[in-house]
């Protein structure tokens, strides 16, 4: 199921979330890295070409919701999972309208993350 393109980028300003999520993903065989701002995400996307992007909404230099169209336009094969504590109907609609692949509400736990990854791979099977 895993291929060499299973790099994951986490964009969240909460270090504990970054460590928790990267640890869970590494246990599943992903190569996970993280950054804490949208400006750093632009640089990381260019160099890492992740297959999955976990994106928080409230970041020091902007909103993840506003960043989704940039990712989808410039990195169309990158799957975007929005992770946010602000789980309202308006945020979900804006995220899906912007092209997000999945929306996961915080607090995160292993089951939520595993379910999200499984759902992504069920929607888009990885051919090895």
Q: What is the pLDDT of residues 11-25, one digit of tens each?
A: 999 999 999 999 999
Beta bridge partners of 95: none
As given in the structure block, the two tokens for residue 67 are 């960043």
Smallest Cα–Cα separation from 12: which of 70, 79, 61, 78?
61
**Is 74 in contact with 45 (CB distance < 8 Å)?**
yes
Q: Half-sphere exposure of residue 81, counting CA atoms within 13 Å on the CB side?
A: 25
Beta strands in the chain (DSSP E): 7-11, 31-35, 52-56, 58-59, 62-63, 79-84, 102-105
Does the pLDDT of residue 97 top 60, yes or no? yes
Tens of pLDDT, residues 24-80:
999 999 999 999 999 999 999 999 999 999 999 999 999 999 999 999 999 999 999
* Domain boundary assignment for the chain: 7-123
The CATH H-level (homologous superfamily) assignment of domain 7-123 is Response regulator (3.40.50.2300)
d(CA 29, CA 20): 15
For residue 6, the model assigns a pLDDT of 87
- Of the pLDDT bands very low, low, confident and very high (cuts 50, 70, 90), residue 124 is low
Helix axes 15-27, 110-123, angle to 10 degrees: 60
Smallest Cα–Cα separation from 75: which of 104, 102, 43?
43
pTM for the full predicted model: 0.89
Smallest Cα–Cα separation from 51: which of 105, 101, 102, 6?
6
């Amino acid at each position: 199921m895993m291929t060499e393109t299973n790099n994951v980028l986490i964009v969240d300003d909460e270090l504990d979330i970054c460590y928790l999520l990267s640890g869970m993903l590494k246990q599943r065989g992903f190569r996970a890295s993280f950054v804490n701002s949208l400006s750093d995400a632009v640089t990381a996307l260019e160099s890492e070409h992740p297959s999955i992007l976990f994106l928080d909404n409230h970041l020091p230099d902007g909103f993840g919701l506003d960043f989704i169209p940039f990712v989808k336009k410039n990195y169309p094969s990158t799957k975007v999972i929005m992770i946010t504590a602000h789980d309202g109907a308006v945020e979900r609609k804006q995220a899906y309208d912007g092209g997000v692949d999945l929306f996961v509400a915080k607090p995160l736990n292993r089951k939520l993350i595993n379910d999200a990854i499984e759902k992504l791979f069920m929607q888009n099977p990885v051919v090895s």
